[in-house]
Chains A and B, each alone.
Chain A
Amino acid sequence: MLYMDYAATSPLYEEVIQTIAEVMRTHYGNPSSIHRLGVEAEKLVQTAKGVIATAIGVSANEIICTSGGTESNNLAIKGVAYGYQHRGKHLITTQVEHASVKEVFAQLAQEGFRVTYLPVSSTGRVQLEDLRAAICEDTTLVSIMYVNNEMGAIQPIQEIGQLLMAYPKIIFHVDAIQGIVKLPLQPKAWGIDLCSASAHKFRGPKGAGFLYRRAGINLQPLLAGGGQEYGVRSGTENVPLIVGMAKALRMSMDNQMDKMAHSYRLRQRLVSGIAAMPELVVTGAHQDHEAAPHIVHFIFAGMKAEVVVHALEQKGVYISTRSACTSGESEPSEVMLALGASREMAMSGLRVSFSADHQEQEIEQFISALQNVVRDLAPLRNQPVVRKEKRV
């Protein structure tokens, strides 16, 4: 089996599984209890936050543990929109956000907030001039993802943070769910106020994530209750998964730069292997600084993406059509449409995603499996696309 759908989710480190099991078995106290078992559990949570904070260069009390990326994004965006609505009701995001951001803004728009959706270039990047032009007197929030979950495009987060430093009243949220670990991330230095992450994208457990909240930012809580997590996220802490998340993050971050370089080498090999097949087109950015190291997106024109996924699956190879969270629908990819792709192209996007733990030979294995699938499927392609090309 060759699993290459790491952007959807990733297998847990064995050590993380052991840690979670041990915490479940031994440290079952409620962190809010005043007795020893409670104190131990609380200490585990605190230590975990310390580990997470160290990994991204922030303070432990700036980490809010959540149930995952979706909750982190919801908490960040709604927390700011509601918490700062006395300042204004204008929000800025992009056209290519993940559903857990996009749908939140759709909800807020229905409630009377004004939302500006920034366009992206053909490589998927937001332009700073567009952002600058979109900022109004009453803008309270800018929310921009670090790495696009579908195409792997890297947004110029550092430059955006720099630009926003001139607007101290605007809060900057970054959905770093696909970017953390894979790329450098320094919320403090880059002027990021809120930053979402999800454990299962870096070989931790599902059901755990965190939100970095810069000290001084007030979020209106989504959940009312016992006042855990500084009152921002009530509910008994999920101690085993929080500890597991911290360990997975720590392990993933070891030798981060070496891993990044290795991933980029794998990516290059993958891109050139795909590009060598005339039926396929690699999409998005081609330069390393614009494309995440672990995602390759390509199009098999005239072929429904789903078919390719299943054909590869028969050979024991697992990849995705765009993002796992939306790929159940047979609608064209909105991200690809935003990048200027045709409707047909946007129906045939495929995503390969891997980790730094993969090796060259696995990439070779993938390419040869893909070659076979493409050879088998090429004669069955839809003709309209081919005709269209002829007309050009």
Chain B
Amino acid sequence: MKPDCLILRFGEMMLKGKNRKKFEHSVMIQIRMVFSSFPDVRYIPEFGRVYVVLGDTDYVLAAKALERVFGLASWSPAYHADMELAAIQRAALGIMEALPKRPATFKVTARRVNKQFPHDSQEINHLVGGYVLQAMPGLQVDVRSPEVELRVEIREDRVLLYCDVIEGIGGFPSGTSGKALLMLSGGIDSPVAGWMAMRKGLTLEAIHFHSYPYTSERAKEKVISLAHQLAGYTDVLKLHLVSFTDVQTSIHQAYKDDLLVTLIRRAMYRIAERIAEREGLGALVTGESLGQVASQTLPSLHAIGQVVSLPLLQPLMMMDKQEIIGVAEKIGTFPISILPYEDCCSLFLPPSPSTNPNLRLVEKLEESMEFLQALIDKAVLETETIEIVHGQLKQESIAHLF
């Protein structure tokens, strides 16, 4: 039995009072986007939910696509039945028999919106439940805590039955929380941070620092693939590529000791903030996770975060590495992240970077580096921006070959 309809329920955003309309509109745009390759689907919106009639659409593909809808609290695969008792009973039995594991207990919960239907919801519970009981010996009714709750909705023009309620990915609809700049390295963490930011309704752009010839073309390709993976949730993502070689090598020439990482990261944050301001983005999103590496201790975070005034959003701060990896696998960035190409963060590492940088000292060192401001300006100016459209990772230059 293949479901012929999906019931999608919206979540947290329902609390948003006056903004509800706007939020529903945004989530509908997202739903239409993820279903855009299924010409057959029809949408029936209702308060707080939408019915998606699948037609000839493949249910498995449609279910998979829902993993990309932010603001989706839960959803149910549902089945249509004709507006008559016998048809409802047959459909109910079909659903119960098709369950992967036969339950010991169940109950029927009917809701009658269409008052023309000759039986009220209590009667429907009995008539449908009784029919199923008779056909499935051994099954029992438990109205308090049934293993399966089979819901029957008698709507104005159709009857829907379902029993699964599947959790959606939650969050706020795409683009309802403003815009932010994700600092995207080639690692495991930053794409996850980006995804979590997107799930909270932020529209993202990403910034990546490369250091030719110290980093390779492949490291850049890797970041482009990561950005492309993230673009799967929004369709398009702007990626700013900063040539960081001069800044990095100049700092390194002037200073090689244990504060090097702090100095370099401060320079990165400064450049990122400048790009964010230029592009009208209201926050920086990074993949820092407390205590993970030397630059992620409290004193380091303080010394580095100092240099920007935009809100710093760091969603992974309190997460364990395994949890982060779990999300990375779910969103498909993990296999890309573990490709071996180094990014610029692992260049010129001092033997033992400071876990407790002295802010005064850092500031003094920067003052002595008179070249710094000009190089940062130049890096901002020469930043290359590319637009990554999901499904179009193929470069224009080779697309015609396929």
Contacts and interface: CB of A to CB of B under 8 A. Distances in A.
Contact of B402 (A27, A34, A61, A247): A247
A23 B401 contact: yes
B218 A250 contact: no
21 contacts: A19-B401, A19-B402, A23-B401, A34-B216, A34-B217, A34-B218, A36-B217, A39-B217, A39-B218, A39-B221, A43-B221, A43-B398, A44-B401, A47-B393, A47-B394, A47-B398, A51-B402, A243-B401, A246-B402, A247-B401, A250-B402
Contacts of B394: 47
A243 B217 contact: no
Interface string A4-40: 0000000000000001001100010000001110011
Interface string B363-402: 0000000000000000000000000000001110010011
A88 B217 CA distance: 46
A34 B219 CA distance: 10
A115 interface: no
B402 A48 contact: yes
Nearest to B218: A39
A247 B400 CA distance: 10
Given A34-B217, A48-B402, A247-B402, 9 more contacts: A19-B401, A22-B401, A34-B218, A43-B221, A43-B398, A47-B394, A47-B402, A243-B401, A243-B402
A35 B212 CA distance: 12
A59 to B, nearest CB: 10
Nearest to B395: A43
Contacts of B217: 34-36, 39
Nearest to B397: A40
A39 B222 CA distance: 11
A331 to B, nearest CB: 43
A190 to B, nearest CB: 14
Interface in A61-82: 61
Interface of A: 19, 22-23, 27, 34-36, 39-40, 43-44, 47-48, 51, 61, 243, 246-247, 250
Nearest to A250: B402
Nearest to B394: A47
Interface string B204-218: 000000000000111
Top 6 A-B residue pairs of the complex, sorted by shortest distance between their CB atoms: A39-B217, A19-B401, A51-B402, A36-B217, A243-B401, A247-B402
Nearest to B335: A61
A246 B400 CA distance: 12
Interface of B: 216-218, 221, 335, 393-395, 398, 401-402
A22 B400 CA distance: 10
A36 B212 CA distance: 12
A98 B398 CA distance: 36
A35 B335 CA distance: 22
Contacts of B221: 39, 43
Most buried by A among B217, B335, B402: B402
A131 B262 CA distance: 66
Nearest to B398: A44
Contacts of A34: 216-218
Most buried by A among B335, B394, B401: B401
Contacts of A51: 402
Nearest to A51: B402
B334 to A, nearest CB: 13
B123 to A, nearest CB: 42
Contacts of B401: 19, 22-23, 44, 243, 247
A36 B221 CA distance: 11
Contacts of B402: 19, 47-48, 51, 243, 246-247, 250
A51 B393 CA distance: 12
A173 to B, nearest CB: 25
A48 B401 CA distance: 9
A43 B402 CA distance: 12
Nearest to A47: B394
B60 to A, nearest CB: 9
Nearest to A40: B398
A387 to B, nearest CB: 58
A203 B402 CA distance: 14
A118 B91 CA distance: 42
Contacts of B395: 43
B340 to A, nearest CB: 11
A19 B399 CA distance: 11
A43 B398 CA distance: 9
Contacts of B218: 34, 39
B104 to A, nearest CB: 26
A247 B394 CA distance: 14
A243 B216 CA distance: 24
A29 to B, nearest CB: 11
Contacts of B398: 27, 40, 43-44, 47
A27 B393 CA distance: 18
B247 to A, nearest CB: 23
Nearest to B61: A57
Nearest to B341: A34
A27 B218 CA distance: 17
Contacts of B335: 61
Nearest to B60: A189
A245 to B, nearest CB: 11
B151 to A, nearest CB: 29
A296 B38 CA distance: 37
Contacts of A250: 402
A250 B400 CA distance: 12
A61 B335 CA distance: 10
A33 to B, nearest CB: 10
B59 to A, nearest CB: 13
Contacts of A35: 217
A8 to B, nearest CB: 27
Contacts of A23: 401
A61 B217 CA distance: 21
Nearest to A247: B402
B94 to A, nearest CB: 21
Contacts of A27: 398
B249 to A, nearest CB: 20
B190 to A, nearest CB: 22
A231 to B, nearest CB: 15
A232 to B, nearest CB: 17
A51 B399 CA distance: 11
A94 to B, nearest CB: 31
A40 B221 CA distance: 10
A27 B395 CA distance: 14
A359 B393 CA distance: 37
Contacts of A39: 217-218, 221
A197 to B, nearest CB: 17
B282 to A, nearest CB: 35
Nearest to B225: A46
B261 to A, nearest CB: 26
A43 B216 CA distance: 14
A22 B399 CA distance: 12
